Structure 1
Amino acid sequence: MNEVRQSSNSRRAKGAKGVSWGLALISALLGLSFFIPTNYYITRPGSAIELAPMIEVEGGKKDESGSFMLTTVRMGEANLAWYIYAQMSPDAELMQKELVVSQGESNEDFVRREQAVMDNSQKLAEAVAFRLAGYDVKVEKQGVWVMGTIDGLPAKKVLKIGDVITSVDGIPTPEAADLLAVLSKKKAGDSVEIAYIRDGQEAKTVITLVPLPDSKSVGIGVRPDNKQNIVIPKKVNIASQGIGGPSAGLMMTLEIYDQLETNTDLTKGYKIAGTGTISLDGTVGRIGGINHKVVAADKAGAEIFFAPQDTPGADSNYEEALATAKRIGTKMQIVPVKNVSDAVAYLQSQKQKTS
């Protein structure tokens, strides 16, 4: 009898040791998964941030009964642990690195590009808001903004993100279209003198043109945008440190406009979130990660969410936002906008919220 008990106890002891070793192995593998890289970035819901504390308009008012909020997406390099998490969570997505960071682009370059785009978005928001409020706004074309350089092409060695190309061979290039027009008259092997501005300092360099990938054209290998100097009649301070990209354009426009319109409260007491790029004519453009932004806005208690109605059909930002709202069961109203004037008209049509 004692021998049977001892044998049973021995089996239990061995079983317990087996479970302990199994748990230890699983823990070790989980720990290692945080150090194993993948070729993906992971995106998740970020936050909804009130804009009034971030934006100060000279002579403007800040007596909103509600609030305007920008929405963000959390993004980072996905290790194996995050990769596995993304396979199981409906609120996480994986993106291949090359879709986020251009080939040969460092993380520093990526951050610099995102900040440059945010700076441009702020200026456009100021211009649109002031024009909506009836002020004169001057727009001066400054040149071609370098938003990226292509790995393996000539510009990569001499130009940086944020540089502004002002001329090619002495011919002014106030816009990206002008740069393309000048280069279209050249052929591979031709050398051109590029004049540019970096950190306020003028400089020149000579670049030899090469055929562009997947194109019949020749070029220097930059991703261009238009750099503009926007002159508004009042000072605007925007404290957006740590937030990059162009997608807050619409919501910044609404906050600035509301501060300028001192006789009205555009919020009507509602918590209003949203997203979308802004163009000089007030057009609201498509953005990425709108599903994550809807989730972030809902968690922050937003009651209205503006979504770009960029294209008709199921692929539009608006339709994607609607689908996400339905999935999470939010009561938040999803409102489609093509132009900032659509958002203003919608808010003006709302009744004042009563507590």
Structure 2
Amino acid sequence: MTFFRSGRPPRRPRSWAITGLLVLALISLAAVPSGYVIQRPGAVFDVMAEVEGEPVITSSDLKTYESESRFDVTTISLLGNRESNPNWIQVLFAWADPDQVVLPLDEVFPPSKTTAEVRAESTAQMEISQQDAIAVALGHLGYEVPRRLYVNAVVADTPASGLVIAGDFVISAGGVKVQTFEELREQITKTEGAEMELTVERDGRLVQLKLAPQPRDDSYYIGAMVGYTYQFPKKVELQLGDVGGPSGGLMFTLGIVDRFTPGSLAKDNHVAGTGTISGEGNVGPIGGIRLKMIAANRAGADLFLVPEGNCEEAEGFVPEGLAAVSVANFEEAIQAVENLNAGKTFPALSCKN
């Protein structure tokens, strides 16, 4: 008589081998760098509050006022850098998560720059953005803010390299006096690559330089990074801890106006947003708009200010329960806040044609 043992048949050696291979594969995926970085919704910072125990906005020259409004700078959390990037398991999970974005490492950290250099550049962008925000806010408050066009950096191996130096004040281009970045760009584009004369002020004296702009996309460039230096009539100081990049400009500007104006600019509403701010008050696009809207929604914002240049990217992706409006400049941002104060209903975000 033959007897059979009841229960599960013994596992075959082949099954153990397959399981072992899968485990080894997972271990390998967890150990091998991916060459990607992962972006996630980051922290939000209320510019009307304190960071690390210190007010974000202060002044030794202007009277400050308490406010019930909240103006949030939104950020992106970045996992990975050139020295240490996520493993493949983290990348695979991020690809499957709509609240995360996977980007090639070189797109965020160019091979020509170290992680430290990228971070230093981000810090410099934040400082420039804050200066522009102070200038626009003081102008909105009725102060005259003289400014000058100057060179803050020169890109290597470009027409400006070896001729223009950081700290030069730009006086004229192609024989035409220029006072704004737009005027300078217009004169550079007009050359269509022909040699032009650029006049700068260096150490108190005028210097004439000759260079030929190079084509780039549908325009021309010289390789000088230009910004504004301001003569502020009142001292305003901003600090936001370890946050870099230029994208807080718009929200800083709103916060400065609120801090030095009686009452609450947005009443007791919670406004979040993003966008650079130029010396003329124009709001510029930034990266990661969808992730920043998620961060604002998680923080409980009532309204999100979307730069006009990011509108198409944001359209259709505004989180449920968050109102969003596209703004091209600071005055449109102020109008949006006033509409919020008046209790107006914001339609679904729709981009201008």
Q: TM-score interval w.r.t. the shorter chain?
A: 0.7 to 0.9
Listed as ranges, the matches of 1:6-155 within 5 Å are 11-12=10-11, 14=13, 17-18=16-17, 21-22=20-21, 24-33=23-32, 35-38=33-36, 41-52=37-48, 53=50, 54-58=56-60, 59-75=62-78, 76-77=80-81, 78-81=85-88, 82-97=90-105, 99-102=107-110, 104-134=112-142, 136-141=143-148, 143-146=150-153, 149-150=155-156
Q: Assess if the C-alpha contact under 8 Å between 2:228 and 2:279 holds in 1.
A: no
User: Aligned-pair RMSD on alpha carbons?
Assistant: 4.4
Higher-helix-fraction structure: 1
C-alpha separation in 2, matches of 1:37 and 1:104: 16
Percent identity reads 25
Alignment correspondent of 2:306? 307
SS of residue in 2 equivalent to 1:324 = coil
Listed as ranges, the matches of 1:200-239 within 5 Å are 212=214, 222-233=223-234, 235-239=235-239
Q: Assess if the C-alpha contact under 8 Å between 1:144 and 1:173 holds in 2.
A: no
Stretch moving more, 246-255 or 89-98: 89-98
C-alpha separation in 2, matches of 1:109 and 1:159: 21
The yes-or-no answer on 1:336 pairing with 2:344 is no
Code of the residue aligned with 2:333 in structure 1: it is A
TM-score, length of structure 1 as denominator length: 0.72
**Aligned pair count?**
324
Consecutive unaligned residues in structure 2, runs of 5 or more: 51-55, 344-353
SS of residue in 1 equivalent to 2:241 = coil
Alignment correspondent of 1:313? none
Q: Assess if the C-alpha contact under 8 Å between 2:134 and 2:253 holds in 1.
A: yes
C-alpha separation in 2, matches of 1:317 and 1:194: 35
Code of the residue aligned with 2:155 in structure 1: it is T
C-alpha separation in 1, matches of 2:246 and 2:7: 70
Q: Assess if the C-alpha contact under 8 Å between 1:144 and 1:175 holds in 2.
A: no
Listed as ranges, the matches of 1:157-306 within 5 Å are 163-166=166-169, 212=214, 222-233=223-234, 235-262=235-262, 264-306=263-305
TM-score, length of structure 2 as denominator length: 0.73
C-alpha separation in 2, matches of 1:165 and 1:101: 28
